[in-house]
Amino acid sequence: MSEKQAVQAELKMQMAGVAEYVLSAFEERLLYLETVNGDAPAPELRQLRDRYLEVRPRFNRMLVAIGKVAAAYELGERHHDFDSLVHLSNDPTHGSPSRIRSYLDQYRRDFAFPLYRFYLDQGKLRTLLEPEEAHRPLLIAFLDSTDDNKLAWINDVAIDRFDHASLALSTEAAEEPSVATKKLMLSLSKLAQVAQLDQQAFEGEDVQRALEAVDDNLDLVNTQQNLSTFFSSLLSGTEMRMPSTEQGEVVAARIASALTDRPALAQRSGERLACRGRLSSLCSACFDVQRTPHTTSCATGRLRFGSS
């Protein structure tokens, strides 16, 4: 090893010590300010904590960049920098599934929640939703804390928590713009609702009312699909490529023309024009819904449902 290389190696080794010293100094000052101020507002404490949280991952990244990966792990563990530990343990070069399992066992939620947020950010939904059974309670706690029904219902079905799955699906269906996806969600919600019942409970009055409510929503969705199919049948190939607002006007004109032989409507042309305008808007809305991609978005990724 040349003298220059020896100096570089020594500097790299000392950087781990510098990082440890700086973070420890931050933490001692934070502890002092917390002790002195108690629950009182403390701008200095807030600013110092923000600065600490900003600096801490920088040191970790710096150690990785200079090849001190073991020191980076040790720094993250000592100072509970779980976000850095998540990134390190998921790194293709420096991480491993065994280390992730070890951290989940050791740190529980402190490591699990940043890990699951990382999976969401990276679109690793399958990895997120297929944990080892020993870690399933951590995933349940995380999903329950996020109110992300688009993901939670899948985990609920996996653990036979069908009542939660049914409620989550029906809640999401109410906000879902795609008719096909809404229909699938409502169908799954009904299946989940039935799956938790025995014969006696199934025949109960409250259950039957709840199932009828789902059926009513499914009927509405089917009506939307049928209307969209009918409206599309009135358009030519060229018109099918028009914007939805123009398609709505074309369909409204063709439907309205079929009503001109109605004397009552002919005598009330002003109302007929207003009705035609509303009909045009309705048709346009149907085409907009039909064009909505059959996907549902989550915080940082997408779940794709097949059309039913």
pLDDT of 209 over the 90 cut: no
Indicate the length of the chain as a whole number. Answer: 308
- 25: burial class by Cβ within 10 Å (0-12, 13-18, 19+)? exposed
For residues 160-198, one letter each, b for 16 or more C-beta atoms within 10 angstroms of the residue's C-beta and e for the rest, the string is ebbebbbbbbbbbbeebebbbbbbbbbbbbbebbeebee
Looking at residue 138, its pLDDT comes to: 96
Quick check: 196 pLDDT over 80?
A: no
Region 143-165: what's the mean pLDDT? Answer: 87
- Write down the mean pLDDT value for the chain: 78
Cα angle 225, 165, 211 (rounded to 5 degrees) comes to 55
Q: Which position has the higher pLDDT, 170 or 236? A: 170
287 in Cβ contact with 244 (< 8 Å):
yes
Distance CA 244, CA 250 (A): 10
Whether 168 contacts 156, CB under 8 Å = yes
Least confident of 202-211, 224-233, 265-274: 265-274
Higher-pLDDT residue of 43, 203: 43
For residue 308, CA distances in Å to 42, 43, 144 come to: 57, 56, 28
- Indicate the domain borders of the chain: 1-86, 96-146, 239-297
Q: Are 53 and 82 in contact (CB under 8 A)?
A: no
Q: Is the pLDDT of residue 194 over 50?
A: yes
Higher pLDDT, 210 or 294: 210
Residue 48 scores a pLDDT above 70: yes
DSSP 60-112: HHHHHHTT-HHHHHHHHHHTT-HHHHHHHHT-TTT--HHHHHHHHHHHTHHHH
pLDDT of amino acid 96: 95
Per-residue pLDDT tens digits for 69-122:
999 999 999 999 999 999 999 999 999 999 999 999 999 999 999 999 999 999
Report phi then psi at 302, rounded to 5.
-135, 140
